[in-house]
Amino acid sequence: MNDVNVIRVIIGLVVAIGLILYFVTRTKIQVFLAMIIGSVAAGLISGLPAAQVLAAIKSGFGGTLGSIGIIIGFGVMMGAIFEVSGAARKMAITFIKMLGKGKEEIAMAITGFIVSIPVFCDSAFVILSPLAKSLSRNTGKSVVTISCSLGAALLVTHSLVPPTPGPLAIAEFFRLDLGRFILYGLIAALPISISGLIYAKWVGKKLFKLPDPNDSSVLIDRPYTEAELAETVTISEEGLPSTFMAFAPILIPIVLILLNTIANAVGLTGFIKSLLGLVGDPVVAVAIGLLIAIYGLAGKVDRKKVVSLLDDSIKQAGVIVFVTGAGGALGAVLKASGAGDAIANMLVQANIPGIILPFVMAYLLRIVSGSATVGMLTAGSITAPILLAMTGVNPYMAGLACCIGSIGITNLHDSYFWVVNRTTGLTDVKEMFQNWFGCVLTLSTVGFVVLLIMNWIF
């Protein structure tokens, strides 16, 4: 590719990114349409014929959804049942009992770490927040500490661990084995979540808040009196599923996917290999988890109510599916235009580590868009064709860079910023930023260090 063509494809990429950001932040155009428009602009400016641009968009869109669209649909349906069944609350109570008194924030962090794999972090926080306030009321421990621990862990696995839609799409963009990527995501998520827990303990001392004994929606900034502390709030388990059933829909699919990955890694053959290949395929594994959720968690719920719930969840999945497909379309256009090879060569010549690009791009897009998923998908669709063309770049670390970068920093147009703060009970904007801005900044900063260490090791 000559210098003129290189300049054209780079200009096309810059224009595409600029259009997407402008449409998403300044107009009424939805991100799906914005990404398709950006794809067309990138292709035409780079010099591709219109017919080839449209062909790339169609193949990229269809190819991406053909691989992960079903999994996203199943996962969203499973998450919907998980929300209404009380399974998340049961998990939290289980960890509280296991860890004992004084470790409530750790119990909530572990719960958030697991729950956010199938359930969107916004919904999960709203579901578990009343329990966090009850724990604060019973222990006299700052509700900011308990809630921030929960919110941090929810955000981390939502951003890093498939089959959450964002990381699932990243695995597809970078052509990664899903089981192996789950392992890398879990390895990275653990120290990042611990950093969030440490920050939560620190900020809880700076913002010492407790639920008002007479109205839990109001916070007070003084310790409870002995009489107030003696009056505890009952944490009921009535109507909740069993411990096994609460965990099964999440853990069984992950275990099946990982077993299939291990079987492939060790070269297993015969019937067992075929069986694991079937049940460990991501589509089948998540379908098994969904069936467990339907008949285990929602087994006693009226059939029409369950069907209605699943129908509503599919509507919510539609946006995710289309945005994911649009990301695949954009990536296909960039690959066809030669942008991937051109920018890969530039990075090599400049001696810039490949994983820096997806991290920085996802980080910036997260800040601008206010959405971790949008930042991750856009960065992944743009950088995957570039990094896959580079030698010496581990695609798993490149994909992880997109995920960690998407944690970014939070701001006022981030919906989760308001969910965490308002649901916790904070109303002062300065306190909101001290609570959640500081926490997310800690997560992304530690995440970058973890990424560099893992890239050096792997």
Closest CA to 165 of 281, 64, 81, 252: 64
Give, as one character, the DSSP assignment of residue 332: H
- In a domain, residue 283? The reply is yes
Which structural domain, as residue segments, surrounds residue 143?
68-299+364-457
Angle in degrees, CA 172, 173, 176, rounded to 5 = 50
What residues have CB less than 8 Å from 132, skipping those under 6 apart?
108, 143, 146, 147, 150, 424
Averages of pLDDT over runs of 10 residues in the chain (458 residues) are 68 85 82 89 89 91 82 85 84 89 91 87 88 88 94 94 88 91 95 96 91 81 82 79 90 90 82 88 90 84 80 79 85 81 72 83 83 85 86 90 91 83 87 91 96 92
- In a domain, residue 93? The reply is yes
- In a domain, residue 28? The reply is no
User: How far from the centroid of its chain's Cα atoms is residue 391's Cα?
Assistant: 28
Longest CA–CA separation in the chain, Å = 79
pLDDT of residue 307: 82
Q: Residue 259 and residue 305: Cα distance in Å, rounded?
A: 34
- In a domain, residue 334? The reply is no
Q: What is the pTM of this model?
A: 0.88
- In a domain, residue 34? The reply is no
- In a domain, residue 237? The reply is yes
pLDDT of residue 3: 54
- In a domain, residue 57? The reply is no
276 neighbors 263 (Cβ within 8 angstroms): yes
Per-position b or e across 67-96, b if 16+ CB within 10 A of its CB: bbbbbbbbbbbbbbbbbebbbbbbbbbbbb
How is residue 140 written in tokens? 């006299």
Q: How many domains does the structure of the chain reveal? A: 1
pLDDT of residue 17: 83
Q: Residue 246 and residue 16: Cα distance in Å, rounded?
A: 44
How is residue 176 written in tokens? 């990664």
* Residue found under tokens 């490949």: 354
- In a domain, residue 444? The reply is yes
pLDDT of residue 406: 92
pLDDT of residue 233: 77
Per-position b or e across 302-331, b if 16+ CB within 10 A of its CB: eeeebeebbeebeeebeebbbbbbbbbbbb
390 neighbors 344 (Cβ within 8 angstroms): yes
